[in-house]
Structure 1
């Protein structure tokens, strides 16, 4: 089974070569060496990758899952909240899935 991290990296390379700017969103909390918690500030369920197409500036959000991965409830809520707005959202299990997502209108 492919690790999600590898799929994300492969998607980032392919999508950036496909005329888009793409970023990885690190979401969550991490306990630092000094004992304090660092919170990324992004809402729970925020997708793994986001960016825009150079052709028209349209924003996209991509949730990355491995072959057997499923959306958590907070990810489903994010998907529902963003639907109906003028952005692209999709779940990718592969580079091919991600390229189809960013090619949507």
Structure 2
């Protein structure tokens, strides 16, 4: 049987790798949550990538969408990718810590996963 890591595990590994290599990274929760008092709080808009952060040396923002090996972007994620491609920020879909590091270290704006 072949073991495929969960997106959560990949995301945690990516956050650790980016942090260890001098980048500040945050988990960006999207959607809405309901508080214990019944209030609804809007988080990031749906489609916002799983991780965001910045490069210390340049201050450049990055966005990383985390997917497992066979994961595909949802329509709202594709919409975000197409929108962000017009700006000078770092963006990419990563399936491993190594891939995320390559995207951020090379300052890429990779939208080849966008169909």
The reply to whether TM is greater than 0.5 is: yes
- Aligned-residue Cα RMSD (Å) equals 1.3
Deviation of 1:103 (Å): 1.1
- Superposition map of 1:81-96 within 5 A: 81-96=83-98
Alignment partner of 1:20 is 2:23: yes
- Segments of structure 2 that go 5 or more residues without pairing to the other structure are 108-115
TM-score, structure 2 as length reference: 0.83
Match of 2:101? 99
Alignment size in residue pairs: 104
- Superposition map of 1:27-46 within 5 A: 27-40=30-43, 42-46=44-48
Instruction: Name the CA distance, whole Å, in 2 between partners of 1:87 and 1:12.
Output: 18
Match of 2:7? 4
Alignment partner of 1:58 is 2:86: no
Deviation of 1:36 (Å): 4.2
Please list the CA deviations of residues 8-32 of structure 1 after superposition, one character each: whole Å capped at 9, or x if unmatched.
1110010011111000001122344
Deviation of 1:34 (Å): 4.5
More relative contact order, 1 or 2 (CA 8 Å, 6+ apart): 1
- Segments of structure 1 that go 5 or more residues without pairing to the other structure are none
CA contact (8 A) 1:19 1:55 kept: no
Question: Which 4+ residue blocks in structure 1 deviate beyond 2 angstroms?
Answer: 29-39
TM-score, structure 1 as length reference: 0.90
Deviation of 1:35 (Å): 4.4
Instruction: Name the CA distance, whole Å, in 2 between partners of 1:34 and 1:17.
Output: 38
